[in-house]
Every structure is written in C-alpha cells, then in structure tokens.
Amino acid sequence: MIIRLLRGQVQAGQEGNLVDRLRALGSDRPTPAGFVGATVGFRRASDSLGFLALSTWESVESISAAASGRPDGALPGQSAGELEGITIDLFEVADGPPLPVDAVAGGALGIIWARVAPHAEAAAHDMIRAVGPEVGAAGVAGLHVGRRVIGDHTELLVVASWRDRVALHEFAQRRANGTFDPAFLRLMTEWRFETYDCLAPGSPSLPAPGPAVLLADSKARFVDASVGIEALLGVPAELVLRQTLVDLTPPERRAEAARLWAEFLATGAAAGTFEILRPDGTRLEVAFRAEADCPRPGIHASVLSPADAAPDPRAVRALVAAAFPESEAVAA
C-alpha cells in the first residue's frame, strides 16, 4: 500500500472556491483502479489556507495509471494550476490499516514527518505501536505509518486520525512530558508536526479558527493555546503548550519581557505591540491585549493579532470564551 500526500495552499479569500473544488474532486469520474480511500484536511496560515489531500493506493503503478503515468503529478479532477505551492510525496505503508474514504470527516488529522537517526527505525516503530492504546483511548480512530528511503536516510510519516480537534488538544494537555515523547524525538534528526481540520458532513464551509489566545500561569508558562494561534506562529497550538514567554521572545528582548510580565501581573492588564520569535526563527510584530486572572484566578490571557490588522473590539474575556468554546474551565 502507498500513502500519497498532496499539499498546497490558496490565498485568503479563495477558501470557498477551494472547498467547492475539493468536494467535487473526482465526483464526476469513475473510481481509479487501485484506489483505496482518501480524506482532505485544511490548516490556516496568516495569509493563506493550506490543504492536504491524503489518499491510499494499492501500488505506485495504480497512482501512475490514474495520473497519466506520473505518480508525482496531479490526479484527474485536481486543478493544480489554480493552486500554489503544490508538493506531492509518496510513502510505503509500514503499519496500520489504509485510511478509508472520509475516515475522519468532521475530525482532525495529526501528521508527524520525521527523519530517523541511523539504526533507530526499529525502535521508532516499537514506540509508535506502544502509544497506540493511549491515543486510541484519547480519540484516535487509527494510526497509519508510512516510510520511505531518501538517499542514505529513512523518513517516517505518522498519520493520526482524531475524532475531533478538541480530543487532540486535550490529549496534548494531559501529557506531562509534552505532546510527543521526548525519547521518541531523540530518535529523530529532524521532525515537524502539522494538524489539519476535516470538513464535517454537510458543512458548507470551513469553521473560522477563532481568536488567537494564549493562557499562561503566573510564571509565564503557557497552559493553553487556541487554534487561532497557529495562523500567527506557524505551528499547531499543541506545540506551544508548556513553552514560556521567553521561548517566544527574541533573545535580546528577554530581560524586557520578564520586566513587562511582572508589571502586567502587578497591574492586572496590559496592551501594546511586541515582537514574537516564531518557532521557525522568523519574527512577527503583534498587537496584544492581556488580562490577569482571566478566565480564572492564577491563569492570565493574552489576545494576539498582527500589528497591522484591525483589532477585535470585543473584551478580552469575551475573546477567551470564543477561543475556547469547548472548555469547561473557561466557561466557568
């Protein structure tokens, strides 16, 4: 079996066209020989909407036949010329059942790509299998593992199909050592994590990501991050958990950040602009509004937006409630 990933993006404002096009993908064509199943997910960036078309096939030959002889080309019905940044990757299924059609409709995909350290692949597969019962109890319908050899190294692809984004987020919050086991990450020389939301059956459009909100304890350690944070930072909110304000501050401004945090706790509120250090090393000037003891004593909320964007006029507490609609702690 082969896992095929087609990624791309469209500019802001074109989301509706993309959703309509992907909904109709192949609907007017017969099912290609060797096709097993597919699902489509979306992720938002600051100025675009990214998408992933993930499909499984019986063989590379069946993909080539469906794509006019090119397994790395767009399949019939895909208007690749209208999209941007198209990349296509193939992985051999190494473990887990093939993904059926609409396996996670209305749910979420969590995808880990990793380059395995020499002689560490067997241990990595063992750890993936061992975590299966834990993630299954947390809301994963299935773990699907692919591998490929590029030159002198091996790459792994792990796809977790979650029943919904809330289940993924709650799992990340509960893990004492972080979303991913540090021992697993030490087996990798390079890795990245992406999440994609899948359309619910009958949904006419993608749900809005909501406000970008960080919740921190009094030591400036992030205890929660809303889905909207990803558009600013470029990584899923789950990777921000347990980081601190220092982690998101350029080195030369960390002393200033510590001072401003102490002043904020003393006064109970703050607003202004601040330069954020993104996980990929780039920097972004953001506008922020912060309120202490929000949504509850000892937890402090910061609402972020690009510095050149129009601010949301709602109160901080209202934005926190909108950012975490499923959270009982916020609602309380």
Dist CA 49 CA 231 (whole Å): 9
d(CA 115, CA 32): 32
Q: What is the pLDDT of residue 66?
A: 81
User: Which pLDDT band, with edges at 50, 70 and 90, does 76 fall under?
Assistant: very low
Q: How far apart are CA 91 and CA 4, in angstroms?
A: 7
Counting residues of the chain whose pLDDT is more than 70, the rounded percentage is 79
pLDDT at 14: 63
Per-residue pLDDT, averaged over 306-321, amounts to 90
The answer to which of 104-108, 236-240, 272-276, 277-281 has the lowest mean pLDDT is: 104-108
Which segment of 10-19, 37-46, 63-72, 280-289 scores lowest on mean pLDDT? 10-19
Three-state SS for 153? strand
pLDDT reading at 79 higher than 90 = no
pLDDT (tens digit per residue) in 272-281: 999 999 887 8
Of 298 and 28, more confident: 298
Higher pLDDT, 47 or 332: 47
Position 73 pLDDT exceeds 80: no
Q: Which pLDDT does position 99 carry in this prediction?
A: 56
pLDDT of the residue at 297: 94
In the chain, the percentage of residues whose pLDDT exceeds 90 is 39
pLDDT band at 91 (very low <50, low <70, confident <90, very high): very high
pLDDT of 168-227, one tens digit each?
A: 888 888 887 778 899 999 999 999 998 888 876 666 566 677 899 999 999 999 999 998
Full DSSP string of 67-119 = TTT-TTSPPTT--GGGSEEEEEEEEEEEESPPPPTTTTTTSEEEEEEEEEPTT
The pLDDT value recorded for residue 102 is 46
pLDDT of residue 78: 47
Strand partners, 215: 224, 301
The yes-or-no verdict on residue 38 having pLDDT over 70 is yes
Write b or e for each residue in 195-220: b if 16 or more Cβ atoms lie within 10 A of its Cβ, otherwise e: bbbbbeeeeeebeebebbbbbbeeeb
Q: Rounded mean pLDDT of the chain? A: 83
Collapsing DSSP states into helix, strand and coil, what is residue 49? strand
pLDDT of residue 207: 65
For 163, counting Cβ atoms within 10 Å of its Cβ (0-12 exposed, 13-18 middle, 19+ buried), the class is middle
Lowest pLDDT segment from 96-110, 131-145, 227-241, 276-290: 96-110
Q: Which position has the higher pLDDT, 13 or 92?
A: 92
> Has residue 138 got a pLDDT over 80?
yes
